[in-house]
Chain A
Amino acid sequence: MSEGLKYALRLNGISKSYDTVRALAGLSFDVIEGRFFALFGPSSVGKTTALRTITGLVKPDSGRVEINGNDVTDAPITGRGVSMVFQSFALYPHLTVYENFAYPLREEKIGREEIDKRVKETATMLKLSHRLERKPNTLSGGEQQRVALGRSLIRRPKILLLDEPLTNLDAKLRHDMRAELKRLHRQFGMTIVYATPDELEALSMGEEIAVMRDGAVVQRGTPDELYENPVDMYVAGKIGSPHMNMIKAKTGSDKTVFETSLGKIISKAKIKSAESGEAAMLGIRPSDIRFAAQGEVGIKSTIQMLEPLGDVTVVSVDTGSETLRMVVPESAATMIKPGQATSIYLDHKKFHIFRASSGQVMT
């Protein structure tokens, strides 16, 4: 426990296979108490299995699960202090909202009056007081989501696991629920592990994010760290919207100059690990490309397509050899039309340099 921080959760080398499918391959991460931790990765990357391992619903083939410093790898489900919101909500369809809320408390043998009090508190907090006598299938998607959340919160868990909780909601509701979840986290201060395939959700909600690939964590860090310093092309491609532009390049002999079809690009520092002549991929964020100012030497290109997003516009430009995407303020995009010739400027200091063979970042 370094720096006096307490770990609510530690996973160490968890592996799990189903028949021939490997769901988790040495998954390790830890979560500091009270953090909002996002587990980010595309579907079938092992996020759900990871969460189910934490709950005890899945027994890992190997590895160790610690909750609050105790090894719970083989411990029963109850007593872990973990609750989970399922992607499908998994509400009890035959019980009313009231009974859905009361169920975990009844299982804990809590007295009737206390149950009634807590159910009503939870319902008020989630604005469900008028729905208590309804059955789940008569509720809207957003209400069902809140019932699922309430049922998980009512036990006052130390750790709350959320498995793609917003995937089944429409866009507007998703936005509201993101704010709601953050508010609940502030209010209760519990540790949250939030699995999501949605980059925006991960970045906007996670205080810390672990990017998963093939059942293991590729990189973890704050949203800024992942955005600024992706460890490989996989992370670089997943974090940031629109996605990073990738340009094929060849390492020059002094390891600072890279030859590309767009001309020479000079990195901000010498790439010591590179071999001269080695193939590399240079990544540049769409926001680090702009139109060249007057008198500036830019790269001649043609506007291909405009995607207005309100305050900004995503512009695709064709340089003749590469198609690059750039983000420009809406005001700068009003003048341009597809087919028009232009000149763009790439900020050489903002390039991310990856080894073409492995996709790892080069330093």
Chain B
Amino acid sequence: MSKATSIWEKLGFRKASGVSEAGWGQTLFAGIISLIYFLPVLLIIITSFKLQTEALSIPPKFMPTNLFGLIPDAYVFSPTLENYTSVFSRAMTSGGVAENTGFDRYFFNSIMIASVSVLLALVIGTLAAFGFSRYPLKGNDTYLFVILTTRMLPAIVVIIPIILMFRVTGLSGSYLGIIMLYTAFNLPFTIWMMKSFFDELSLDVEDAARLDGSSGLKVFFKICLPQVLAGLAATFVFGLILTWNEFLFALLLTGIDTRTVPVAMSQAVAGGGIGVLWGLLAAIETLFLIPVFFVTFFLQDHLLRGVTFGTVKR
């Protein structure tokens, strides 16, 4: 293969074979549209490198460099990492040793709670989906519908009974409680997604495996599951993003030790009585973006195949 590969292709962005690339005009148009969508994220990332005064200045300072004098100084700020250090430690106004803000812990909580609950939902949901797909109950669709109804109510409506249940069982503020809740929260979506993937598979292939001597469990693990890997990846990413950003349940059901980043973020910003610390907030948000960004990036091949599964006749 002597064909030149662009940097993007090396990074994993591939175009489908037999498809010709769009012209410059179309690419530019798509670029502008993308920029409009991406602008808020971009502003957050830029702001995270600004001091409070620069963050609030009008006109906005949006360039970290004057590009050898091309950009007027009014629009240029001097980038700093101060916000990032103050995410994790806070200098005391009275002097002395800097105080830990606890954000290292909150990040750990977010990562741990989200990944454990999404993985749990994936394991339970995939098994359930396989059952619904291959061994339908009488009134199968009714069960599936009932499962989905649990997601029809807004969180705020169901939060009160859940708080009471958590208080009675002593789950409030515990990892176990919030992980169980998020697992249940992710299950309906996981079951529906995975069932649709299993429904797409050819039953003949499974029968062939049975004839080749495989038991039911082996058919599931060696034949069915590998065929829906793309689906698993897609379901994992969607579940992860939902759980990662969840705020309300986390606010009301986690304790000081089990607090997740969205909750901590809201509290870090509100506190202090000196207005919103935009730079700090942006720094937290930027850090908060990174884990999901990387998971999505590494699974993107699967993700695309996952969401387009079944729409193309094989």
Contacts and interface: CB of A to CB of B under 8 A. Distances in A.
B212 interface: yes
B134 interface: no
Given A93-B227, A94-B226, A88 B204 contact: yes
Interface centre among B202, B207, B209, B211 (most CB of A within 10 A): B211
A137 B213 contact: no
Interface string B214-231: 100010000100110100
Contacts of B226: 94-95
Nearest to B228: A94
A90 B213 contact: no
A88 B314 CA distance: 12
Contacts of A55: 211
B214 A107 contact: yes
B314 A151 contact: no
Contacts of B213: 77-78, 104, 107-108
Given A86-B204, A90-B202, A137 B314 contact: yes
15 contacts: A55-B211, A57-B207, A77-B210, A77-B213, A78-B213, A84-B208, A86-B208, A90-B202, A93-B227, A93-B314, A94-B227, A95-B226, A107-B218, A108-B213, A151-B212
A234 interface: no
Given A104-B213, A107-B213, A108-B213, A90 B227 contact: no
B207 A86 contact: yes
Contacts of A94: 226-227, 229
Interface string A126-170: 000000000001000000000000010001000000000000000
Contact of B205 (A52, A92, A137): A92
A104 B227 contact: no
Nearest to A85: B208
B211 A103 contact: no
Instruction: Please provide the 5 A-B residue pairs with the shortest distance between their CB atoms, ordered closest to farther.
Output: A107-B213, A90-B204, A104-B212, A90-B208, A94-B226
Interface in A69-93: 77-78, 82-84, 86-88, 90-93
Contacts of B314: 93, 137
Contacts of A77: 210-211, 213
A108 B212 CA distance: 8
Interface residues of B, number: 17
Interface in A101-115: 103-104, 107-108
A185 B229 CA distance: 39
A173 to B, nearest CB: 20
Interface of B: 202, 204-205, 207-214, 218, 223, 226-227, 229, 314
A84 B205 contact: no
B205 A93 contact: yes
Nearest to A161: B211
Contacts of A137: 314
Given A86-B204, A137-B314, A92 B223 contact: yes
Contacts of B211: 55, 57, 77, 82-84
A307 to B, nearest CB: 35
Given A57-B211, A86-B204, 6 more contacts: A83-B211, A90-B202, A91-B208, A95-B226, A103-B212, A151-B208
B206 to A, nearest CB: 8
A57 B211 CA distance: 8
B205 A90 contact: yes
Interface of A: 52, 55, 57, 77-78, 82-84, 86-88, 90-95, 103-104, 107-108, 137, 151, 155
A140 to B, nearest CB: 15
Contacts of B212: 83, 103-104, 107, 151, 155
Interface centre among A94, A95, A108, A151 (most CB of B within 10 A): A94
A151 B204 CA distance: 14
Nearest to B226: A94
A91 B205 contact: yes
Contacts of B214: 107
Nearest to A163: B204
B308 to A, nearest CB: 15
A55 B229 CA distance: 30
A155 to B, nearest CB: 7
Contacts of A155: 212
B271 to A, nearest CB: 52
A155 B212 CA distance: 8
A317 B143 CA distance: 64
A148 to B, nearest CB: 8
Contacts of B229: 94
Interface centre among A87, A88, A137 (most CB of B within 10 A): A88
Nearest to A77: B210
A279 to B, nearest CB: 46
Given A104-B213, A108-B213, A90 B207 contact: yes
Nearest to B205: A90
A158 B204 CA distance: 21
B278 to A, nearest CB: 49
A165 B218 CA distance: 26
B31 to A, nearest CB: 34
A98 to B, nearest CB: 15
A92 B218 CA distance: 13
Nearest to B223: A92
A57 B210 contact: yes
A119 to B, nearest CB: 14
B209 A103 contact: yes
Nearest to B206: A90
Contacts of A104: 212-213
A87 B227 CA distance: 20
A52 B210 CA distance: 12
A62 B202 CA distance: 28
A164 to B, nearest CB: 12
Contacts of B218: 107
